[in-house]
Amino acid sequence: MKSWCVLAFLLLDFFCHGTLSCPAFCKCYAGRAEVVCNGAPLKEYPSEGLPENTTMLTIQFTNISTISEQHLEATPQLQELHLHENHLQTLPSNFLRGVPRLHTLDLTGNKLSDLPVDVFTHASLRSLVLKNNLIKEADAAWFPDNSSLTWLDLSGNHLTKIQAAFLQKLPHLETLDLSKNRLEEIPADSLEPLTKLERLNLQYNNLSTLDASVFQRLHKLHFLFLAWNKLNKVPPNLFKELTQLRHLNLEDNRLNHIPTGLLDPLNSLEEDGLDLSVNPLVCDGKAEYLWRWLQNNKKKVFQADAITCKLPPSLEGRSVTSLAESDLNPQS
């Protein structure tokens, strides 16, 4: 009789709480094979007590500082692993060997810096987020050849350069976020392997110029973010191949002029798809191209009236769209 009572209690616990066991500081949801561990008191990876059939595991806002291949072996069916806002300082090589089905790995907000060779091999990752860490160099040796990644977020790190060899391992990328780093240049051939790329974010870097051919292979690109850099000059044919581009953000750079023909290939821009605000534009004869383009494409521009002149002093603060042709060519 007592054994039946124990069994009934266990079954009741299973149906009410979704699992027969669950680590401390964690909640286990058997119906969707998900475990969520939330809270600073957790100091070690909770491998003991994790349901073996777990497919989604979130460990966030804890004091965990290490993780091993053996830890992950406790959940061989894992498909998504979210480890944001912990204290991880490094990762072991081959640590994904025990979770071959893993497709999403989020390591946002840790203290990762130097990562070992083969750190992201053994699992067919499609989404990798390394946002807001301390990474100084993106190493091609992290990945296998022909990686299946379609989404890579390296924003908020300390990158000063991005190597072509690194991106050659990632031919299936559709989204690449390199914003909020310290990039000073994008090598001309570095983006060539990314023929499937649809979204590229380079905001908040230190880019002062771009090679004319840097985007030439990105025929599927829909979104390009270049705001908050130090761009002072761009080649007139920079966007020549970006005929599918829907959104382009050049806000808050150091552009004095928009070269003739620069915006002509961008026939796919959506309404409010272009942002050129907060640039120190010189409204002289060289600005006539931009002035005419804005007259014909005002609906494609986000806050077109916010595109203003910096020089000459007589036109400072004037919206480019409000000018007359005689303002740009006063001697004619």
The answer to whether residues 186 and 207 touch, using CB atoms and an 8 Å cutoff, is: yes
DSSP state of 132: S
Q: Is the pTM of this model over 0.75?
A: yes
Average pLDDT for 8-30: 64
**Nearest alpha-carbon partner for 185 in 222, 237, 231:** 231
The answer to whether residues 24 and 40 touch, using CB atoms and an 8 Å cutoff, is: no
Check whether the bond before 312 is cis (ω within 30° of 0): yes
Q: What are phi and psi of 295, to 5 degrees?
A: -60, -35
Q: In the chain, what percentage of residues exceed pLDDT 70?
A: 93
pLDDT per position as a tens digit, 127-165: 999 999 999 999 999 999 999 999 999 999 999 999 999
Instruction: Give the whole-angstrom CA distance, residue 83 versus residue 131.
Output: 11
Provide CB contacts within 8 A for 134, sequence distance 6+: 111, 112, 113, 157, 158
Neighbour count for residue 32 (Cβ, 10 Å): 9
Instruction: Give the whole-angstrom CA distance, residue 75 versus residue 57.
Output: 9
Ranges of H-type helices in the chain: 2-17, 69-72, 164-168, 288-297, 325-328
Q: What is the DSSP string of 166-191?
A: HHHT-TT-SEEE--SS------TTTT
Question: Long-range contacts of range 107-110, CB-CB < 8 Å, 24 or more positions apart?
Answer: 107/83, 107/131, 107/133, 108/84, 108/132, 108/133, 108/153, 109/84, 109/85, 109/133, 110/83, 110/84, 110/85, 110/86
Question: What band does 332 get if pLDDT is binned at 50, 70 and 90?
Answer: low
If one compares 17 and 172, the residue with the highest pLDDT of the two is 172
Per-residue burial over 166-175, b if 16 or more Cβ lie within 10 Å, else e, is bbbbbbbbbb
What confidence score (pLDDT) does residue 56 get? 98
What type of residue is 78?
Answer: L
Whole-number Cα distances in Å, 188 to 91, 159, 164, 212, 214: 32, 17, 9, 8, 5
The answer to whether residues 229 and 251 touch, using CB atoms and an 8 Å cutoff, is: no
What confidence score (pLDDT) does residue 330 get? 76
Q: Domains of the chain by range and CATH? A: 18-134 (3.80.10.10), 183-332 (3.80.10.10)
Which residues face 153 on adjacent strands? 129, 177
What confidence score (pLDDT) does residue 60 get? 96
Provide the terminal-to-terminal Cα distance of the chain, rounded to the nearest Å. 105
Q: What is the DSSP string of 15-56?
A: HHHS-S---TTEEEEGGGTEEEEE-TT--S---TT--TT--E
pLDDT per position as a tens digit, 299-328: 999 999 999 999 999 999 999 999 999 999
pLDDT per position as a tens digit, 237-280: 999 999 999 999 999 999 999 999 999 999 999 999 999 999 99
Provide CB contacts within 8 A for 161, sequence distance 6+: 137, 183, 184, 185, 187
What confidence score (pLDDT) does residue 122 get? 93
Q: In the chain, what percentage of residues exceed pLDDT 90?
A: 90
With a cut of 60, say whether residue 11 has pLDDT above it: no
The answer to whether residues 331 and 319 touch, using CB atoms and an 8 Å cutoff, is: no
What confidence score (pLDDT) does residue 39 get? 86
